[in-house]
């Protein structure tokens, strides 16, 4: 349980620390303060993961979900920093906006969750496939090296390390069995890091320079400030985050054979939004479910939410112990990239499996999938496509998952529900909340979910 939980942390660590590093650098934090901000985000990610996996009352999807800082908020947070005259006020303004957005999202969760009835297999399969495809550029970026501005970025040295790591994971999955096979990704990261030492790209300085103990003091950077423009900006981000979390819950529900109904999605969104509202208390940012861990669940077939809760425990410990947090920071980016190809590709493969059930022999469904995938791929294939749009609109449009999801839902309604002349057996009926889903409170799951 400990090693598989740590594997989840290893898979999402880079995604958690990237936003605070980027925003902290924009604010102009010192290295010590930057380390503090990163540790705070790890700590709050652990708390949000507890809330999502273990749950309390009607809060938490109780699925094997890892929660962490959403990358969707980075661009608007940088805009807030740039528009704040006194940079010392930038983080308090961001924290105040996150608190309001989180509370409003918590209140809206039960209404937002009703959208589940508009997610039949033709929609969910498309969205799950887009999640995997959208994450692949992250792995490709990691594989090319730690610094895109460096002269050696994308050179054979880094690509070789990514390829070696990928090969290690594949060989472990092919020729081992049982426990070793289940932790193949974690072993791949460890062995890949060892292989990277002779290449001179493994830096152990984060361990030697980190403090042994450090608690994220509440409101370390100042009391939250509430500015209307910042609040509106991050409320838009919250809508995007809730949309992507809904898609992630639907994806994970398919993978663990427990389709997410309206009640599950509402509980999961409450955990996301409440975690986001509480996070600024400990100097953290907006939290959301991490899609990369869906690939890990799909690949290992370890479906227990308690394993992921243990991963949340590791995140909390890393937040309290910067030295422990820095251990995973030692893993070179190319090594993460090699493992990421397997993880993110597994998500896309799960989406294709769902599309098999979507009735693609029907022309209407083929059109829904074709157009939705095309719309979702725009930000990946042509990142500057929406450059002329306002910044607020680009927050949504630059998320291929969100735009592809909206396109799939709208097209499914247009082709499969608005036409009166179609025969009932020629359309994909929407999944009603709870339909064909056993009451998980009355039936214990053998998979441990």
Which of 94-98, 264-268, 441-445 comes out lowest in average pLDDT?
441-445
Residue burial 146-166, b: 16+ Cβ < 10 Å; e: rest: eeeeeeeeeeeebbbbbbbbb
Instruction: Indicate whether 98 pLDDT > 90.
Output: yes
Instruction: Indicate whether 425 pLDDT > 80.
Output: no
Mean pLDDT, range 311-329, rounded to an integer? 79
- For the chain, how long is the longest CA-to-CA vector? 70
Q: What is the pLDDT of residue 445?
A: 40
Instruction: Indicate whether 383 pLDDT > 80.
Output: yes
Q: How far is CA 272 from CA 156, 233, 296, in A?
A: 40, 18, 20
Instruction: Indicate whether 217 pLDDT > 60.
Output: yes
Show the CA angle centred on residue 269, arms to residues 264 and 274, nearest 5°. Answer: 130
Contacts of 281 (CB under 8 A, 6+ apart): 218, 219
Comparing 448 with 12, the larger pLDDT belongs to 12
* Burial class of residue 21, CB neighbours in 10 A (0-12, 13-18, 19+): middle
* Integer Cα distance of 118 and 430 in angstroms: 5
Say if CB 40 and CB 319 are below 8 A apart: yes
Taking only the tens place, the pLDDT of each residue in 121-159 is 888 788 878 878 887 887 898 899 888 888 889 899 999
* Integer Cα distance of 281 and 286 in angstroms: 11
Which of 43-52, 277-286, 427-436 comes out lowest in average pLDDT?
427-436
* Integer Cα distance of 185 and 395 in angstroms: 32
Strand partners, 346: none
Mean pLDDT, range 238-245, rounded to an integer? 79
Mean pLDDT, range 16-32, rounded to an integer? 78
Say if CB 399 and CB 240 are below 8 A apart: yes
Show the CA angle centred on residue 293, arms to residues 343 and 205, nearest 5°. Answer: 85
Q: What is the pLDDT of residue 141?
A: 87
Q: How far is CA 108 from CA 164, 235, 334, in A?
A: 46, 12, 40
* Burial class of residue 405, CB neighbours in 10 A (0-12, 13-18, 19+): buried
* Integer Cα distance of 401 and 390 in angstroms: 19
Mean pLDDT, the chain, integer: 81
Residue with tokens 């009603």: 432
Q: Categorize the per-residue pLDDT at 430 as very low, low, confident or very high, splitting at 50, 70 and 90.
A: very low
- Tokens describing residue 244: 């992507």
Q: What is the pLDDT of residue 84?
A: 80
Say if CB 289 and CB 245 are below 8 A apart: yes
Q: Categorize the per-residue pLDDT at 273 as very low, low, confident or very high, splitting at 50, 70 and 90.
A: very high
């Amino acid at each position: 349980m400990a090693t598989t939980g740590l594997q989840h942390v290893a898979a999402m660590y880079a995604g958690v620390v990237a936003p605070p590093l980027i925003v902290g650098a924009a604010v102009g934090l010192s290295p010590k303060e930057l380390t503090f901000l990163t540790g705070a985000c790890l700590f709050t990610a652990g708390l949000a993961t507890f809330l999502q996996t273990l749950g309390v009352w009607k809060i938490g999807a109780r699925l094997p979900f890892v929660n962490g800082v959403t990358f969707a908020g980075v661009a608007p947070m940088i805009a807030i920093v740039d528009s704040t005259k006194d940079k010392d006020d930038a983080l308090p303004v961001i924290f105040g906006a996150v608190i309001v957005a989180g509370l409003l999202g918590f209140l809206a969760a039960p209404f937002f969750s009703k959208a589940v009835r508009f997610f039949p297999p033709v929609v969910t399969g498309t969205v799950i496939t887009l999640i995997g495809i959208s994450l692949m550029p992250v792995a490709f970026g990691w594989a090319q090296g730690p610094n895109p501005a460096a002269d050696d970025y994308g050179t054979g040295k880094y690509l070789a390390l990514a390829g070696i790591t990928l090969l290690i994971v594949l060989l472990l999955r092919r020729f081992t069995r049982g426990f070793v096979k289940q932790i193949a990704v974690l072993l791949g990261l460890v062995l890949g890091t060892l292989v990277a030492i002779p290449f001179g790209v493994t830096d152990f300085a984060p361990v030697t320079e980190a403090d042994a103990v450090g608690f994220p003091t509440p409101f370390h950077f100042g009391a939250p400030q509430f500015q209307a423009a910042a609040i509106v900006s991050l409320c838009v981000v919250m809508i995007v985050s809730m949309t992507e979390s809904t898609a992630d819950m639907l994806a994970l529900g398919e993978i663990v054979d427990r389709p997410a109904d309206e009640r599950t999605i509402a509980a999961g969104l409450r955990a996301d939004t409440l975690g986001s509202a509480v996070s600024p208390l400990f100097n953290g940012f907006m939290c959301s479910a991490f899609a990369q861990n869906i690939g890990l669940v799909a690949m290992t077939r370890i479906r227990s939410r308690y394993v992921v809760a243990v991963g949340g425990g590791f995140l909390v410990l890393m937040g309290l112990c910067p030295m422990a947090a820095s251990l995973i920071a030692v893993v070179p980016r190319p090594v993460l990239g090699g493992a990421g190809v397997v993880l993110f590709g597994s998500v896309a493969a799960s989406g294709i499996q769902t599309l098999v059930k979507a009735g693609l022999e029907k022309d209407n469904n083929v059109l829904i999938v074709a157009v939705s995938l095309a719309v979702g791929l725009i930000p990946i294939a042509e990142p500057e496509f929406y450059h002329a749009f306002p910044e607020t609109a680009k927050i949504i449009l630059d998320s291929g998952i969100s735009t592809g999801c909206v396109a799939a839902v709208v097209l499914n309604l247009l082709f499969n529900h608005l036409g009166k002349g179609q025969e009932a057996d020629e359309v994909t009926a929407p999944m009603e909340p709870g339909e064909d889903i056993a009451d998980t409170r009355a039936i214990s799951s053998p998979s441990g979910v």
